[in-house]
Homo-oligomer: A and B are copies of this chain.
Amino acid sequence: MATETKNGKRIFLKNEECPIRNVVAQIGDKWSILILFSLLDGPDRFNSLKTRIEGISQRMLTQTLRDMERDGYVDRTVYPQVPVKVEYELTDLGRGLAKAAWGLVSWADEHHKDIRSARQQYDKENG
> Taking chain A's interface residues, is the majority helix, strand, or loop, or is none over half, making it mixed?
helix
CB contacts under 8 Å to B, within A2-16, are 2, 6, 8-15
Inter-subunit contact A20/B34 (CB<8 Å)? yes
Inter-subunit contact A115/B23 (CB<8 Å)? yes
Q: How far is the CA of A26 from the CA of B104 in the complex (A)?
A: 12
CB-nearest residue of chain B relative to A11?
B52
Inter-subunit contact B71/A118 (CB<8 Å)? yes
Pick the contact of A33: B20, B102, B115 (CB < 8 A): B20
Other A-B pairs beyond A12-B38, A24-B108, A101-B104, 20, CB < 8 Å = A9-B42, A10-B38, A11-B53, A14-B54, A14-B55, A15-B55, A20-B109, A21-B34, A23-B112, A24-B33, A69-B122, A72-B114, A72-B122, A93-B114, A96-B107, A97-B107, A97-B111, A99-B107, A100-B106, A103-B104
Inter-subunit contact B115/A12 (CB<8 Å)? no
16 A-B residue pairs with Cβ-Cβ distance under 8 Å, sorted by A, are: A2-B109, A9-B38, A10-B41, A11-B52, A12-B34, A13-B54, A20-B34, A20-B108, A22-B115, A70-B118, A70-B119, A71-B115, A72-B114, A93-B115, A100-B103, A103-B103
